[in-house]
């Protein structure tokens, strides 16, 4: 009887396996890990999950699936995705990202330009909530620096690594990034609390990476032409600053994103060429860009609920308990699950959405603080995302470099991705020494 029950629990995990086979298998066969849309792969996996469940009738299975998809936290997360997309689109349309780049690179001295790229990339990414968008905004500046300084492979790799490293730093910490939203909602903590814990874990990696970049580029005569900034540029970045300040203050993220989108629109009307129709169009475009992620989240959540009801998550917990005997062990388990899923999917948001429910069960079982589990999910998935050669970030930046006539591959850049490498080191140290020390929160 016990064997039959265990088999049923193991069988309920088949949707996860189907998803990985479809997503990873297509990537291996085609050489393109983004050829199979994650939403389609998980939709097929969800259908398999509905078919293999023999303990409930079809109507009951659908009810279980929709109950999981319509969970309060899941719908909350989906609406935040939508609002974040609208904010990012409108603020990008008024030139907020470009203004940040101009201000950052004009302020820093010439001999610190590579560090300046790293720092500016981090700030822009925190503000925009997207590593890919940041890479797109900063890479033309980096390519200009390469063309005026040196086109040697090591220098190209250092410059591009600085941009990717900063982008992943911001992606991990931003209040409006997909990863932060997914990590906090699946673990049940506030964005502000997660930010505080996450920030102190990754800060040493950022500081050490900064020094390494400065040391690596001391022998280069750096020069780049960056357009001078004006007072309008300071105005253009106000929505980003407002969102960051309000988020740290603890204001509800719904209100923050609505206010940020309104502020961006007002600035665009007064100081740019934004019209009411273009404003609405940009909001629509931003929402549209998030719909795939929203659909994926709903499908994954429904599938996970099916797996949970059929005992799949219990089986995972029992298996992990055979190897994990402490809270620290549970934290390493959470880091390992997030890492494994990101390596397989090459998408840190998908990695968190998929591994989040399992991480929550582990956290509850072993008493891991939700702030720490959310941070570990985000840190380790971002670390892998910024370093795997088939991840979109490295593929995108090398593609931009090749379009500019430079010969570079992801494998050339990986040795210089100091920040992503140090995330593993300091993330592991934070688990081992119990850093940062957290006070128990009242329920």
Query: How much is the pTM?
Result: 0.80
Helix (H, G, I), strand (E, B) or coil at 118: helix
Q: What is the dihedral of CA 385, 389, 392, 396, to 10 degrees?
A: 130
Contact between 237 and 123 under an 8 Å Cβ cutoff? The reply is: no
Compute the distance between CA of residue 36 and CA of residue 38 in angstroms, rounded to an integer.
6
Please say whether the beta carbons of 227 and 214 come within 8 A.
no
**CA distance linking residue 165 with residue 143, whole number of Å:** 16
What pLDDT does 4 receive?
Answer: 53
Task: Say what the pLDDT of residue 1 is.
Answer: 46
CA distances from 350 to 31, 181, 317 (A): 20, 12, 21
- The pLDDT, as a whole number, for residue 441 is 61
Q: Which residues contact 267 (CB under 8 A, 6 or more apart)?
A: 94, 235, 236, 238, 239
Sign, Cα dihedral of 374, 376, 379, 383: negative
DSSP state of 415: G
Predicted pLDDT at 333 = 92
Q: Helix H segments across 217-275?
A: 231-236, 238-249, 253-271
Q: Contact, 332 vs 338, CB < 8 A?
A: no
Q: pLDDT tens per residue, the chain (443 residues)?
A: 455 577 888 888 899 889 888 887 888 888 776 778 888 988 999 999 999 888 888 899 999 999 988 888 788 878 888 988 898 889 889 988 788 778 877 777 777 888 988 998 898 888 878 788 788 878 888 888 888 888 888 999 999 999 999 999 999 998 888 899 899 999 999 889 999 999 999 999 999 999 999 998 887 776 666 677 788 888 998 988 888 888 778 788 788 889 999 999 999 999 888 999 999 999 999 899 888 888 988 998 898 888 888 888 788 777 877 888 899 999 999 999 899 888 877 788 888 988 898 899 899 989 999 999 999 999 999 999 999 887 888 888 888 888 888 888 888 999 999 999 999 999 999 999 998 887 766 44
For residue 129, is it left (φ>0), alpha (ψ between -120 and 50) or beta?
left
428: nearest Cα among 254, 223, 202, 243: 202
Backbone angles phi and psi of 436, in degrees to 5: -80, 160
* Residue-range domain boundaries for the chain: 2-432
Q: What span, in angstroms and rounded, lies between the C-alpha atoms of 91 and 96?
A: 6
The span from the CA of 300 to the CA of 229, in Å, is 45
- CB contact set of 147 (below 8 Å; sequence gap of 6+): 404
Helix (H, G, I), strand (E, B) or coil at 143: helix
362, 333 Cβ separation under 8 angstroms: yes
Stated as kind and residue range, the H or E segment containing 344 is helix 327-345
């Amino acid at each position: 009887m016990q064997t039959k029950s265990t088999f049923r629990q193991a069988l309920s995990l088949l949707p996860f396996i189907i998803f990985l086979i479809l997503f990873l298998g297509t990537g291996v066969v085609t050489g393109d890990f983004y050829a199979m849309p994650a939403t389609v792969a998980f939709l097929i996996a969800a259908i398999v999950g509905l078919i293999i469940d023999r303990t409930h009738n079809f109507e009951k299975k659908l009810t279980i699936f929709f109950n999981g998809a319509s969970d309060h936290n899941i719908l909350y997360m989906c609406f935040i995705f939508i609002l974040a997309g609208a904010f990012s689109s409108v603020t990008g349309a008024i030139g907020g990202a470009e203004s940040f780049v101009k201000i950052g690179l004009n302020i820093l001295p010439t001999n610190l330009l590579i560090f300046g790229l790293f720092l500016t990339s981090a700030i822009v990414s925190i503000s925009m909530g997207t590593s890919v968008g940041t890479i797109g905004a900063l890479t033309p500046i980096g390519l200009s620096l390469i063309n005026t300084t040196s086109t040697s492979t090591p220098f190209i790799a250092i410059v591009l690594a600085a941009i990717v490293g900063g982008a992943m730093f911001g992606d991990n910490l931003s209040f409006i990034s997909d990863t932060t939203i997914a990590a906090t909602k699946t673990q049940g903590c506030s964005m502000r609390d997660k930010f505080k814990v996450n920030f102190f874990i990754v800060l040493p990696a950022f500081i050490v990476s900064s020094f390494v970049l400065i040391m690596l580029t001391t022998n280069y005569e750096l020069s780049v032409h960056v357009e001078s900034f004006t007072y309008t540029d300071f105005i253009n970045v106000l929505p980003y600053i407002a969102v960051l300040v309000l988020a740290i203050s603890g204001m509800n993220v719904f209100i923050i994103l609505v206010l940020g989108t309104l502020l961006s629109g007002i600035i665009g009307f007064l100081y740019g060429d934004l019209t009411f129709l273009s404003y609405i169009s940009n909001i629509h475009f931003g929402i549209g860009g998030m719909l795939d992620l929203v659909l994926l989240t709903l499908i994954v959540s429904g599938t996970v609920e099916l797996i949970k009801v059929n005992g799949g998550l219990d089986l995972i917990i029992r298996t992990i308990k055979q190897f994990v005997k402490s809270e620290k062990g549970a934290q390493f388990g959470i880091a390992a699950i997030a890492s494994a899923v990101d390596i397989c999917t090459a998408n840190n948001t998908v990695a968190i959405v998929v591994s989040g429910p399992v991480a929550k069960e582990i956290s509850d079982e072993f008493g891991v603080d939700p702030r720490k589990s959310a941070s570990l999910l985000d840190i380790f998935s971002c670390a892998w995302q910024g370093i795997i050669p088939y991840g979109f970030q490295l593929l995108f930046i090398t593609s931009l470099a090749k379009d500019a006539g430079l010969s570079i591959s992801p494998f050339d850049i990986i040795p210089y991705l100091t920040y992503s490498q140090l995330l593993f080191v300091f993330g592991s140290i934070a688990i081992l020494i119990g850093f940062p020390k957290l006070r128990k929160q009242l329920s």
